[in-house]
Amino acid sequence: MTEYLVRFLVGGVVVSAFAMLSDVLRPKSFAGLFGAAPSVALATLGIAVYRHGPDYAAFQSQAMMAGAIALAVYSVVVCHLLVRARLRAAPATLLSLVVWLIVAFGLLTLAGGQT
Amino acid sequence: MTLIRFSPSSLREGRWYEYLIRFALGGAVTVFTGLISSRYGPSVGGLFLALPAIFCASATLIEKHEIRRKREAGFAGERRGQGAAAVEAAGAALGALGMLGFAIVFSLTVESSILVAFIGSSLAWLVVSVAAWRVRRKMRSVRKASTCYREP
């Protein structure tokens, strides 16, 4: 229980810090880089190293590569849904999560990832 | 050349509950990733380190702020709001390349030095993201210039 409380607090602080940095930076296209900052990764990998050791964290970061590629595809799809399909941000970002899941798990399967 | 600058006044546009939502969402996603790793192993858990849950909230807030600003000026603002969220999404696509750099450097270095892994991977994220952003801006300005130029 304590571990999950620590996760919640560390995750909340790191994500908020990156989000605020994104708010104050200009131009907006540059600030957008911080929308894909590894905030959750920093918090989670820090806890993973402490709790399970470097091997476990290395394994997680290898799978993260597939997640990052899926994130790039996801962001392009969101951009097109906003500009071409003229969807609002909430439905565009939520619908595109399906794309992220397909690409991420597809790449993990191709790479022979263990579950 | 576009200068990167700070605009602290942007923080005043946000409402207190929006910051609370981001904090709670960030915490919840980190807990969720931990639960996934415990249940399905580090491989599936690792995928969720790049889950765009935070991006969903950020893009929605950016759109909302832009619409609010335009409405105060007497315009509808929906298209402008969508445009601002789209710019954020384009930036996130470049940031995702940086995240890939982060994951590669971290996986290569964490077993030899934890400190080097965290510092090196964070630097890799920053360098790759900023380089990708600069290349994209350069390409856009070259494209714009070639569109404007017409043979006599």
Q: What is the pLDDT of residues B102-141, one digit of tens each?
A: 999 999 999 999 999 999 999 999 999 999 999 988 888 7
Q: What is the sign, positive or negative, of the torsion defined by CA atoms of A71, A76, A79, A84?
A: negative
SS3 of residue B114 by DSSP: helix
Q: Which residues pair with A26 in a beta bridge?
A: B5
Residue B23 has its nearest CB partner, among A16, A46, A61, at A16
**Spatial CA neighbour of A58 closest among B99, B106, B101:** B106
Among A13, A25, A30, pick the best mutation site for testing chain B contact (most B Cβ within 10 A).
A30
DSSP string of B39-85, one letter each residue:
HH-HHHHHHGGG-THHHHHHHHHHHHHHHHHHHHTTS--HHHHHHHH
Calculate mean pLDDT across residues B29-50: 93
Q: ipTM of this model?
A: 0.90
Distance CA B8, CA B23 (A): 19
Q: Do A35 and B59 touch (CB under 8 A)?
A: yes
Among A78, A107, A115, pick the best mutation site for testing chain B contact (most B Cβ within 10 A).
A78
Interface check for A24 against chain B (CB to CB < 8 A): the answer is yes
pLDDT higher at A16 or B101:
B101
* Model pTM score: 0.87
Distance CA B142, CA B148 (A): 10
Closest chain A CA to residue B48: A67
Q: What is the pLDDT of residues A44-88, one digit of tens each?
A: 999 999 999 999 999 999 999 999 999 999 999 999 999 999 999
Q: What is the pLDDT of residues A88-106, one digit of tens each?
A: 999 999 999 999 999 999 9
Q: Which helix (H) or strand (E) holds B116?
A: helix B114-148
